Amino acid sequence: MIPSSPSSVDSLPTTEETATPGGAENSSTPCDGNNPTESENPSLVTEDSQSIGQKQHGIWSIFSSTFITIFLAEMGDKTQLSTLLIAAESQSPWIVFAGAAIALIATSLLGVLVGYWLSNRLSPKTMERSAGILLLFISVMLLWDVVLMGA
């Protein structure tokens, strides 16, 4: 992690602060990047700063994949078309936007909470199989409706 102000650099401890066998501590030098041990040993970067970077990358990855998936799935969806028609009829687009946004947030929250609850009770493999079976069942039912309508 990079310090935000020069005064905080001088107060940072270094890896050179060690106790001698007599119990006295060696003097320390500030971490300014000119210390030969810092430039020779790049592994002095703390594991905490590396894990923070990995967590931030993980958070961004989860957010972006969720956003892109939902955004593309909702394009031309019945929810979007319904919102379009309601906005056209009501002549109050901002009110329709607020209602639709709150409804989508509520349904997303419900999905996230149920998914989190299930993830604590079922293994990922069981969840994948269950979702696959459920989607296969829905597909068969929709196909059955199409076949019956054509007859």
List, for residues 23-32, the tens digit of each pLDDT value. Answer: 444 444 455 5
Structure tokens given for 1: 């992690």
90 and 132 fall within a common domain: no
**Residues facing residue 149 across a β-bridge:** none
Count of residues in the chain: 151
Strand partners, 25: 19
Give per-residue pLDDT as tens, 100-111: 999 999 999 999
Residues 6+ apart with CB under 8 A from 35: 14, 16, 29
**Overall average pLDDT of the 61-65 stretch:** 92
- Whether residues 133 and 99 share a domain: the answer is no
Q: Domain check: are 88 and 136 in the same one?
A: no
Looking at the structure, tell me whether residues 112 and 74 fall in a common domain.
Answer: yes
Closest C-alpha among 43, 26, 34 to residue 9 = 34
Q: Are 117 and 140 members of one domain? A: no
Same structural domain for residues 106 and 58? yes
Look at residue 131 and tell me if it is in a domain.
Answer: yes
CA separation for the pair 72, 82 (Å, rounded): 17
pTM over the 0.75 mark: no
Same domain flag for 116 and 149: no
CB 110 within 8 A of CB 102: no
The pLDDT value given to residue 9: 46
Q: How confident is the model at residue 20 (pLDDT cuts 50, 70, 90)?
A: very low
pLDDT tops 60 at residue 130 = yes
Q: Is 130 contained in some domain?
A: yes
- The pLDDT of residue 41: 53
Nearest to 2 by CA among 28, 33, 24, 26: 33
Number of domains in the chain: 2
Angle, helices 78-90/93-119, rounded to nearest 10 degrees: 160
Count the Cβ atoms, other than its own, within 10 Å of residue 92. Answer: 12
Residues with Cβ within 8 Å of 18's Cβ and at least 6 positions away in sequence, in order, are 25, 26
Domain, as residue range, for 68: 47-122
**Cα–Cα distance between 5 and 34 in angstroms, integer?**
17
